[in-house]
């Protein structure tokens, strides 16, 4: 089933203990699309500036099952993020953010994308996310991501938005901020009461928790030995998860558990190198093989 | 098979966001014994001072499958620890430590304990831990715990000790300190090279990792909703694990995985209340029932 993502396309400059990059391809919608394309066709909506490099444009457009015709090009500069990871690499330190054209982004969903059934609203303002949903004819499964900034500054808009979504993904810090509750299970229960049928709390290298009225599912992260750059892990997780859901057309709790297993493994590849480098090297078979290995570790 | 623990017996004064206690019963050997006694007979060796309260003495001696005849009583005061937990409660802040009689503790293993097969050397100086091992006739499965202090100040003694043990349990921070490696999987592999057949890295509320030459096993923590006091979680985990091993008399990788599942669940009960309060309320059936529930969450 058609899968749509709306989010950022960025030029990332990143420093980790294992190296650094300058203006490499990043952004939530990009990581999501590449993670999901192993499973399903993806429709990508985002915005770049006139300065967006030709070679990166090629990367976005090269995969035959990523439809990037929804990427607008606006006068101005592309969104840039500069960050660094230190110590145990769980938390990025933002050095600078230039929103540029992403700051004025008003997503216009192309006519032929409006019948999308699986919708991922990558991190962005809740009003912008709402405006996307309003353009979709009849979404089947909508997942929303958010971040501290929106929880603090646009709380009411966010609460309004998540009333009607199927799932929300957020990290542990965001779950605590949203609920003012430090215990994650209590926090997850509180978020379920806000509307979403599923709450997915990502705990970085510690895995994730899926909560629903019917029960919980907890899954550790794959114990990656070579974490080179954690950027995009959350969006890759979401991309693998939703790609799997869209492929299997099954949004039961049981299948969502399986989807989260796939999301976990796809994210584990992404963090082994900068930008999309690992996604450019691996195949669906590599993902399947690591899923089997991981299942062995959990048995 | 007989299970021996040598470690501290303490009077703990603890403050958490959910309450506080004054001089309640604690200490690594105590938590371990109570956790293990659900599965197996336990032989407890430790030391208290003349001031050790009669009612707490009764608690140590009341369980018919905890043999506390190895508890020495020395002139002087009992070991005291005062600590506090804040925020997400993963890390204790030590307010004060009075070693008292535990500072001069020279474990004497009673004659009828020397045929013990399963040995847990709770956190203590590596020389003291070694002196225990030297008194045991033919240990079958020895597990050692340690802490930052010994890793920093008695590194050589510790390395000497762990050469010959079957397993070491340590938390993520200790694993990193011991190896100077931030990636836990790499750290675990390095520790395996130091001698132990199994390395068990505890990640608090994020679960634990078992590593051996034959493979890894990762298990999240049980998602406890009511964490009242995390004190003793690590020792309860070890107690549940070794109690299960001693009961089943099987130290294969496969059974160790199962033992870690039990350790995880036993620890999840312990942290729901102060001191041994939860252990005083629950039965083996409560443990079995939560194990089944947890298996459901992991499926």
In this prediction, what percent of chain A has a pLDDT beyond 70?
100
Report the gap between the CA of B77 and the closest CA in chain A (Å): 37
Quick check: B91 contacting A, CB < 8 Å?
A: no
Closest in A184, A257, A298 to B218, CB measured: A298
| Residue A299's pLDDT band (cuts 50, 70, 90) | confident
Report the gap between the CA of A17 and the closest CA in chain B (Å): 11
- Mean pLDDT (chain B, rounded): 95
Closest in B182, B206, B215 to A203, CB measured: B206
Residue B223: closest C-alpha in chain A: A185
User: Does residue A88 carry a pLDDT above 90?
Assistant: no
Residue A183: closest C-alpha in chain B: B225
pLDDT at residue number A182: 87
Give mean pLDDT, residues B97-123: 96
User: Does residue A90 carry a pLDDT above 80?
Assistant: no
Give mean pLDDT, residues A104-117: 96
Task: Write phi, then psi, for A200 (nearest 5 degrees).
Answer: -120, 115
pLDDT at residue number A78: 98
Quick check: A219 contacting B, CB < 8 Å?
A: yes
At A19-33, the pLDDT tens digits run 999 999 999 999 999
Q: Which of A86, A87, A218 to mutate to test the interface with B (most CBs of B within 10 A)?
A: A218
Give mean pLDDT, residues B80-95: 87
Closest in A206, A257, A297 to B216, CB measured: A297
| Residue B289's pLDDT band (cuts 50, 70, 90) | very high
User: Does residue B40 carry a pLDDT above 80?
Assistant: yes
> Do B219 and A224 count as a contact with CB atoms less than 8 A apart?
no
pLDDT at residue number B204: 83
Query: pTM for the complete prediction?
Result: 0.84
> Do B218 and A297 count as a contact with CB atoms less than 8 A apart?
yes
> Do B298 and A223 count as a contact with CB atoms less than 8 A apart?
no
Assembly ipTM: 0.71
At B182-225, the pLDDT tens digits run 889 999 999 999 999 999 999 888 899 999 999 899 999 998 88
Identify the CA nearest to B232 among candidates B278, B282, B168, B173. Answer: B278
Quick check: B297 contacting A, CB < 8 Å?
A: yes
Highest mean pLDDT among A90-104, A200-214, B22-36: B22-36
Quick check: A184 contacting B, CB < 8 Å?
A: yes
- Alpha helices by DSSP H, listed for B119-183, are 126-135, 148-153, 155-162, 172-179
Lookup result for tokens 């994650």: A184
> Do B89 and A203 count as a contact with CB atoms less than 8 A apart?
no
pLDDT at residue number B165: 97
pLDDT at residue number A179: 97
In this prediction, what percent of chain A has a pLDDT beyond 90?
89
| Inter-chain CB pairs, A–B, below 8 Å | 68
Burial A212-233 (b: 16+ CB within 10 A, else e): beeebbbbbbbbbeebbbbbbb
Strands laid side by side in the A80-85 sheet: A19-26, A10-16, A80-85, A92-98
Residue B256: closest C-alpha in chain A: A299
pLDDT at residue number B226: 85
Highest mean pLDDT among A82-91, A221-230, B262-271: B262-271
Question: DSSP letters along chain A, please?
Answer: --EEEE---EEEEEEETTEEEEEEEE-HHHHHHHHHTTTS-EEEEEEEETT--HHHHHHHHHSTTEEEEEEEEESSPPPEEEEEE-TTS-SEEEEEEE-GGGGG------GGGTT-SEEEE-SS-HHHHHHHHTT-SS-SEEEEE--HHHHHHSHHHHHHHHTT-SEEEEEHHHHHHHHT-SSHHHHHHHHHTTS-SEEEEE-GGG-EEEEETTEEEEEPPP--S--S--TTHHHHHHHHHHHHHHHHT--SHHHHHHHHHHHHHHHHHHTTSSTTHHHHH--HHHHHHHHHHHHHHH-
Token pair of B233 as six digits: 């979680």
Token pair of A113 as six digits: 């994308």
pLDDT at residue number A14: 96
Report the gap between the CA of B23 and the closest CA in chain A (Å): 27
At A132-156, the pLDDT tens digits run 999 999 999 999 999 999 999 999 9
Quick check: B247 contacting A, CB < 8 Å?
A: no
pLDDT at residue number B92: 87
Token pair of B58 as six digits: 């009764």
pLDDT at residue number A204: 83
Contact between B169 and B145 (Cβ < 8 Å): yes
Quick check: B86 contacting A, CB < 8 Å?
A: no
User: Does residue A36 carry a pLDDT above 90?
Assistant: yes
Quick check: A185 contacting B, CB < 8 Å?
A: yes
> Do B220 and A225 count as a contact with CB atoms less than 8 A apart?
no
Contacts of A199 in chain B (CB under 8 A): none
Q: Round to whole Å and give the CA distance between B142 and B19.
A: 36
Quick check: A89 contacting B, CB < 8 Å?
A: yes
pLDDT at residue number B225: 84
| Residue A252's pLDDT band (cuts 50, 70, 90) | very high
Token pair of B296 as six digits: 């459901």
| Residue A225's pLDDT band (cuts 50, 70, 90) | confident
> Do B223 and A209 count as a contact with CB atoms less than 8 A apart?
yes
Neighbours of B270 (CB within 10 A): 30
Contacts of A297 in chain B (CB under 8 A): 215-218
Quick check: A299 contacting B, CB < 8 Å?
A: yes
Give mean pLDDT, residues B279-297: 95
Name B129's bridge partners: none
| Residue A92's pLDDT band (cuts 50, 70, 90) | confident
Closest in A183, A217, A223 to B225, CB measured: A183
User: Does residue A240 carry a pLDDT above 80?
Assistant: yes
User: Does residue B91 carry a pLDDT above 90?
Assistant: no
> Do A220 and B207 count as a contact with CB atoms less than 8 A apart?
yes
Closest in A186, A227, A299 to B225, CB measured: A186
Give mean pLDDT, residues B112-140: 96
């Amino acid at each position: 089933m058609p899968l749509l993502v709306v989010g950022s396309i960025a030029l990332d400059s990143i420093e980790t203990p294992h190296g650094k990059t300058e203006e490499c391809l990043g952004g939530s919608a990009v990581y999501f699309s590449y993670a999901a394309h192993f499973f399903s066709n993806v429709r990508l909506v985002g915005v770049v500036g006139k300065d967006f490099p030709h070679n990166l444009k090629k990367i976005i457009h090269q995969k035959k099952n990523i439809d990037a015709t929804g990427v607008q090009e606006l006068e101005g500069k592309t969104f840039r993020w500069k960050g660094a990871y230190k110590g145990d690499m769980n938390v990025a330190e933002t050095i600078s953010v230039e929103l540029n054209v992403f700051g004025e982004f008003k997503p216009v969903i192309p006519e032929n994308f409006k019948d999308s059934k699986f919708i991922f609203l990558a991190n962005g303002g809740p009003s912008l996310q709402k405006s996307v949903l309003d353009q979709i004819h009849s979404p089947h499964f909508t997942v929303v991501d958010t971040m501290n900034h929106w929880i603090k500054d646009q709380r009411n808009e966010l609460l309004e938005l998540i009333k009607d979504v199927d799932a929300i993904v957020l990290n542990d810090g965001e779950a605590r901020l949203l609920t003012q509750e430090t215990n994650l299970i209590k926090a997850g229960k509180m978020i379920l009461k806000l509307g979403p049928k599923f709450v997915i709390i990502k705990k970085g290298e510690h895995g994730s928790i899926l909560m629903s009225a019917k029960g919980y599912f907890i899954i550790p992260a794959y114990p990656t030995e070579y974490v080179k750059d954690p950027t995009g892990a959350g969006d890759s997780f979401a991309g693998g998860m939703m790609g799997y859901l869209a492929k299997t057309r099954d949004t039961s709790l049981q299948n969502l558990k399986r989807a989260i297993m796939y999301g976990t493994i796809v994210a584990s590849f992404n963090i082994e190198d900068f930008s999309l480098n690992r996604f450019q090297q691996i195949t669906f078979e590599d993902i399947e093989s690591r899923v089997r290995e991981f299942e062995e570790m959990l048995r």
